[in-house]
Chain A
Amino acid sequence: DQQVKQNSPSLSVQEGRISILNCDYTNSMFDYFLWYKKYPAEGPTFLISISSIKDKNEDGRFTVFLNKSAKHLSLHIVPSQPGDSAVYFCAASDGAQKLVFGQGTRLTINP
């Protein structure tokens, strides 16, 4: 049972435009959500997080939106830059010492 789903395996965006990566979850007990970024041959690195008591968290070009009623979160990157090309994972926690990850979305920023 895939509790965290990223239904788009890949996304291609033109440089300067907005990139929107989506993530859906099924477990209503999840109360903390994170996005990780992964470059080839490197481990994932933390990007941005959001608690379930919020619906938006912003950090520079990156904004995460949470819609609890729809069990959906999204990551917006604006403006997109070539260095943003990577695989993005969303992850969720229910308070236990464990993260549940999505399958990842490969983002390609075209010049």
Chain B
Amino acid sequence: SAVISQKPSRDICQRGTSLTIQCQVDSQVTMMFWYRQQPGQSLTLIATANQGSEATYESGFVIDKFPISRPNLTFSTLTVSNMSPEDSSIYLCSVDLGSGRAWETQYFGPGTRLLVL
């Protein structure tokens, strides 16, 4: 298993500002993912963060809005830039300890609850 921590756990931010969310894993992992869950909506994949290369973004998400860093195999950050109230969501990072399609080995962090005023 993996122990994943996220900072901050929650925050209230003013529109137009940016927030960086940190994700720390207790073991080295190749693949890390960032998800968003807007109120009443499903978990939606924002991007896949691979160490040593640029993040791969899903349709509807762009690097200018959600820049991601992956400096090593245990850490990643997601920045929510130029925030608006529509960015109010829970942001979760996850890691996959397996290979290929072993989805049972995907672990999630506790999430960061963001409210933008």
Contact = CB atoms under 8 A, between A and B. Distances in A.
Contacts of A32: 101, 103
Given A49-B103, A97-B48, A43 B42 contact: no
B111 A46 contact: no
B101 A45 contact: no
A42 B110 contact: yes
Contacts of A95: 101
Interface in A76-111: 89, 91, 93, 95, 97-104
Interface string B93-117: 0101000010111111111000000
B103 A43 contact: no
Contact of A99 (B4, B103, B105): B103
B13 interface: no
B42 A104 contact: yes
A99 B106 contact: yes
A103 B42 contact: yes
A99 B58 CA distance: 12
Interface of B: 4, 9, 31, 35, 40-45, 48, 58, 92, 94, 96, 101, 103-111
Interface of A: 2, 4, 9, 32, 34, 36, 41-46, 49, 89, 91, 93, 95, 97-104
